[in-house]
Amino acid sequence: MENVLEVKDLCKKYDNFELKNITFNLPKGMIMGFIGENGAGKTTTIKAILNIIKSYNGEIKIFGLDNRKNDNKIKEEIGVVLDDMFFPEILTPNDINNTMKGIYKNWDTKMFYDYLKEFSLLPNKQIKTFSKGMRKKLEIITALSHHPKLLILDEPTSGLDPVARAEVIQIFQSILEKDDCSILLSSHITTDLEHIADYITFINNGKVVLSKNTNELLDKYAIVKCTEKEFKNINKKDYVKYKKTKYEYEVLVENKKDFKAKYNISVIDKITLDDLMVLMIKGEE
């Protein structure tokens, strides 16, 4: 399968933080959820992909092209939403339209205004009068209105209430139905991703912990709940991490089927991305 985004051995060192050999691929037409706790390195990785930070080691290819050598060509084809709000508050959606019309070759004014109408954003109101959810929606529809082939979205749902989050997620789903677009979506709100992400890349402390197909991941991984006695019988090789709670042990296993066949433990729960993240980060080996 053709990859729209390939990140290979990405390394970047700061005084108090380091990205270590970040490697993952986003296949064409897919949504990848990029998960990890705050400060895990998601935004730094995205900034490297976008050349907002330049002094890194490793290779990043977008649409098969080196991102540093083909910066302008690539950026015509990608839509971006960054973690922080980034439109000057004194501008209006009309100003954003005029600005982007002069920046993107493929800017679609009709599409932009259709989206504004759909999400009840008034074109002549200053952005500072918008709520956080409305601002995020404006940023998202701006990222969409030049028909990008790749969307790079850093925490687009963070800080939004559940209704606004659901609306935003719905926008992404509708784009995928309409356009041949791929999405890299970073979030620490993993429930948003379980339903829409085809792939999950999980990053912790500057390292990729796993990068897998979502269904495969949720099917294969599981949480085994057992007593201390049962836990002591489990071979270390057969689990990834474990956590001791007040009454039981929660054990993260990578291969549910094999585990079931080998051990006679009845409580094997389906895993959520939240569980996976918490156990991977906080669990003991």
Partner 1 sequence: MIGFIKKDLAMIKSNFKLLGILIIVYTIMGLMGKMDISFILPFMCVMIMISSFSYDNYNKWDAYSISLPNGRKNSVKSKYITTILLTLIVSIITTLLSFAISYVNNKTINYEQILVTMLGVIFGTLLVLTFMYPIIYKFGVEKARIGIFLLVFGIVIIGSLLANYIDLSNVLKFLSFLEDYLIIILIMVAIIMVYVSYKISEKIFIKKEF
- The residue ranges that bind partner 1 (CB under 8 A) are 47, 50-55, 72, 75-76, 78, 80, 82, 84-92, 95, 98-105, 152
Minimum CB–partner distance for residue 35 and partner 1 (Å): 21
Distance CA 238, CA 244 (A): 17
Minimum CB–partner distance for residue 227 and partner 1 (Å): 51
Give the side-chain half-sphere CA count within 13 A for 20.
Answer: 10
- Tell me whether residue 36 is exposed, middle or buried, using C-beta atoms within 10 angstroms of its C-beta: 0 to 12, 13 to 18, 19 or more: buried
Q: Which is nearer to partner 1, 102 or 285 (CB)?
A: 102
Q: Which is nearer to partner 1, 17 or 86 (CB)?
A: 86
Angle value at C-alpha 269, between 268 and 273, nearest 5 degrees:
135
Q: Which is nearer to partner 1, 22 or 252 (CB)?
A: 22
Minimum CB–partner distance for residue 22 and partner 1 (Å): 17
Minimum CB–partner distance for residue 231 and partner 1 (Å): 47
Minimum CB–partner distance for residue 124 and partner 1 (Å): 12
Minimum CB–partner distance for residue 217 and partner 1 (Å): 29
Coil, strand, or helix at residue 81? Answer: strand
Cα(first)–Cα(last) distance of the chain, in Å? 35
For 132-152, what is the HEC assignment? Answer: HHHHHHHHHHHHHCCCCCEEE
CB 25 within 8 A of CB 5: yes
Sheet holding 3-13, edge to edge: 18-27, 3-13, 57-62, 65-66
Helices (H) and strands (E) in the chain, counts: 11, 14
Q: Which is nearer to partner 1, 69 or 246 (CB)?
A: 69
Minimum CB–partner distance for residue 196 and partner 1 (Å): 22
Q: Which is nearer to partner 1, 90 or 261 (CB)?
A: 90
Extract the tokens encoding 103: 């920046």
Extract the tokens encoding 241: 């991490």
Extract the tokens encoding 137: 């929606």
Q: Which is nearer to partner 1, 95 or 238 (CB)?
A: 95
Helix axes 109-118, 93-101, angle to 10 degrees: 160
Sheet holding 182-187, edge to edge: 78-81, 150-154, 182-187, 31-35, 199-204, 207-213
Q: Which is nearer to partner 1, 81 or 208 (CB)?
A: 81
Minimum CB–partner distance for residue 52 and partner 1 (Å): 5
Q: Which is nearer to partner 1, 92 or 211 (CB)?
A: 92
